[in-house]
Structure 1
Amino acid sequence: MHLIWENTVKNLILLWTGEFKGINTGRESYELGLEVWEAIGKATAASGGTLPSVYCARPPNPVTERSACTADTWSFWTQYLGPVLLRQKFSKAKYYKHFVKLVKILHVCLQFELSSQDIEDLRVGFESWVKEFEEIYYQNDPQRAGVCPITIHALLHIANSIKETGPVWTSWAFPMERFCGRLQPIIKSKRHPDACIARYIVEEAQLTQAALIYNMAEELSLHKPLNGMVAGQFTHKSYPTCVLLPPRRKGPDTIDDSLYSKIIKALATQLDTTPAVLKRVVFRKHIEQWGKVRRLEGGDTMICASLVKKQVDSRDATFVRYESLVDRNARQRNTPSIFEKQTFYGQLQHLFVVNVPTNPTIHLDAPLTIFFAALLPCLLTASSAHLDMLNIHFYSAMGTSLDIVDIICVQCLVGQVPLNDNGWSWAIIDQSGDLARAVFED
């Protein structure tokens, strides 16, 4: 934690802003300039409204609120905001590529599991990055030795440390730092602070052991369970991984002709019939709308943009990643279908519950309930390969037609970073990694 977020990253920024120990750029030109860095700081703070709260706390402005930037803040900025906001800001592309190379290496370091090959890649990657760092910033000049503190050399030992002790999450300082933060409020006596701390630790250990022995973790927890019951929620046995949350809208007046036709078309695809047949079976009274969906087992809560009114100064939780099977031969008539999984990004507009009644016309022997999500897709633009590897994508327009998919296809929330003040160009940040991917069964 301290090696990267509290030292290496901060030192890089000091080098870029010309504030590192009074050392100039030498024969290079890596400084950003005050106006550029101030613009990056404003963009960092402005991104808070379009990043879901589950991603991070609102990022402070690193220029005007530097004291508010914690290790957690620098971690998120380095991995997700930095690659976006520093793009095309340096006078030479090699400085930006050098930074992105570090971000890629850090993404590997932060993986939940690492193979022997991953560790070897880290070893080679850090060696290459440190060598380039010396070429750019040290420049083989003994007068510039100050730009190479011990923390730069320490990067070369990370791979060996992971090999000896396991992934970095097993030994980093974040849990201990947060534990110390929990201790501070319980100190009630300035004269005997150690007694207060000792009592708190003993009592917490006793509660923890009681919860483990008697399987009472939820009963003894002082926090509201993430997957707890919510008044008015709706679940169905066909969808055990999610729960729908209010507001709820029901009635024929809540769905216009266009939406109804799109729902019927999506339903016809799923039931392998025709829209004309379904319109004689499924009516508007069989369809209801919901405002939110929560993925269970620690998943995200996603909000419908059309049904839930956005509050002032709220965080945006409407943009999601969804995956669907697309027929590669859809435009070729009389050609066998070949389906392949594709990833899409878009804004969640509607959530529908379709209650299909029993009807022999569509070969349905029992009532069927289907959850549909209607999304407005983001039309992605081409981006560089190294940013695609970081799950950072760009778009400047939204689609005009809704995609209606089964709710199982909707995976998780994504964040957005505005690339300009006019709001016509955005970067999409997806930090879920490989832990939130759809698995399609035949």
Structure 2
Amino acid sequence: MHLIWENTIKNLVLLWTGPFKGLDEGTGSYQLPRSVWDAIGVATAASGSTIPGAYGARPPNVATDHTATTADSWSFWTLYIGPVLLRRSFTDSKYYDHFVNLVKLLHKCLEFSFTVQDVDSLREGFVQWVLDFEDLYYQHDPERISICPVTIHALLHIADSIIACGPVWAYWAFPMERYCGLIRPGIKSRKHPFASLDRFVVECAQITQIRLIYQLDDDPGFALSKPHHETTCLLPPSQQDRPEPAILRKIEKCLATRYDMSGNIKAIKRCLVKAQIVQWAKLRIDDGDTIYAAATFAAADTERRDATYARYEVLVDINAHRRRVTPEYKPETRYGRIQHIFSVEMPPCAELGLRTSETLFLAGITPCNILASHSQLDIQYYEEESKTEQFVDIDCVQCLVGRVRDGRRWAVIDRSGALSRALYIPDA
């Protein structure tokens, strides 16, 4: 895969941004004005503030910062940022469509498992992409043969490599490169570098064992988890101040739906008076994504990368506008900003059918008003967020997402794909 990020993608960029190996566009029109590519570089660097740190290092300015454009950064730019920022950049959309077809194939390559049909589809896709590359850039002109390096031909062998060796994630070079980057600072002696590395590796292993034996973590003893919220835990700092009335009313509305008491909100109010409500700063999903509540997010801290946006799943009554029709629910994927995170310890309450206390985790979200989606990739676009905060069960929150500014709109970057989507199984 490194050949793709370090060669194929870089060569495409060179074709788009100027003479490649002394060749002009020929009969094509694929070169971008310098001002356009500079704007793409600036937008790429700016996206670092709205793409969470969990997604990787800050994207560099691909137009000017050549020393920071590693295989890892080119990989992320190609799969997520490039399809957003290159849209409407070419005078002829066929070049953008050709790039998007490559992105689709690369996403397919990075899947965890493959069927025989998947590999066949991948093989056919790369064959067609190479044929289109020859039409668009090589233009079947022997004088332009240098536009077709061996790395273009290598794409035709990816499917065979998957059959022979398995999915590419099992043997690509990223883990080894990152490990080398981890241990390189351990070299303290030019005369005995390997002894320095040995000591550093042993010390890292010892620290890991100490953390495991004594159960140390980043937030020892302060995280809150409950058995019925198996995938989520709440992280400090926390505070027990009573929410302001406007927030409390929204929590009441959420609980009325949960306990099927929409027609008796007063009962919810009576029980909620005795409840212990704690506000939390963060939530963590499956020991992976950590999402911050915007209410605790320091907007003035320009160095902090925004990790307050998430994808979440809700059940929507498709008959909600028809009063006398039995509710029929269907799952719906939404995106929004986590504004508040609360744990609500409900006391025993006969009116709600609670014989024992119950602790609920709730997230207050301002939904993004999705306007459109990319026709070929799983990229959603919105301009504004709803001004109304909605509270949902925290298990509805599926993953952390990032955003890239695209003119007046925002593009939502979701790296999880279909592999992590929640499945709704109706009760029998």
The alignment's TM-score, normalised by the length of structure 1, stands at: 0.89
Distance in 2 (alpha carbons) for counterparts of 1:332 and 1:294: 38
1:269 equivalent in alignment to 2:253: no
Q: Distance in 1 between matches of 2:149 and 2:398?
A: 43
Deviation readout 1:194-242 (Å, 9 max, x if unpaired)? 5655x469x75x997xx9xxxx9643779x97x6543533222332322
Shift of 1:132: 0.2
Greater shift in the superposed pair: 397-406 or 35-44: 397-406
Q: Percent identity?
A: 47
Which AA in structure 2 matches 1:370?
A: L
Root-mean-square deviation (CA, aligned residues, Å) is 2.3
Amino acid at match of 1:302: I
The corresponding residue for 2:422 is: 438
Judge conservation of contact 1:255–1:284 (CA < 8 Å) in 2.
no
C-alpha displacement at 1:328, in angstroms? 1.3
- Deviation, 1:3, is 1.4
2:393 partner amino acid: D
Q: Who is 2:312 aligned against?
A: 322
Partner of 2:16: 16
Match of 2:344 in 1: 354
| 5+ residue gaps, structure 2 | none
Number of residue equivalences: 422
CA contact (8 A) 1:325 1:341 kept: yes
Do 2:49 and 2:302's aligned partners in 1 also have CA atoms closer than 8 Å?
no
Runs of 4+ in structure 1 off by over 6 angstroms are none
**Counterparts of 1:46 and 1:221 in 2: how far apart (Å)?**
38
Decide which of 251, 257, 271 is 1:281's aligned counterpart. Answer: 271
Q: CA deviation at 1:432?
A: 1.0
User: How do residues 165-176 of structure 1 correspond to structure 2 at under 5 angstroms?
Assistant: 165-176=165-176
CA spacing shift, 1:142–1:269, aligned 2, 3 Å: same
Answering whether residue 380 of structure 2 is matched by residue 381 of structure 1, we say: no
1:85 maps to: 85
- CA drift at 1:182: 4.1
Q: Which residue of 1 aligns with 2:353?
A: 363
CA distance in 1, matches of 2:422, 2:211: 34
Q: CA deviation at 1:106?
A: 0.1
Alignment of 1:285-434 (within 5 A): 286-297=276-287, 299-310=288-299, 311-387=301-377, 391-420=378-407, 424-434=408-418
Code of the residue aligned with 2:257 in structure 1: it is T
How far 1:60 sits from its partner (Å)? Answer: 0.8
* Alpha-carbon shift at residue 185 of structure 1 (Å): 3.3
Give the Cα–Cα distance (whole angstroms) in 2 for the partners of residues 348 and 182 of structure 1: 33
Name the counterpart of 2:248.
260
Please list the CA deviations of residues 381-426 of structure 1 after superposition, one character each: whole Å capped at 9, or x if unmatched: 1233213xxx211100111222211000011110011123xxx421
Matched residues in 1 for 2:353 and 2:182: separation? 60
Shift of 1:247: 2.7
1:76 is matched with: 76
Q: Which residue identity lines up with residue 348 of structure 1 in the other structure?
A: I
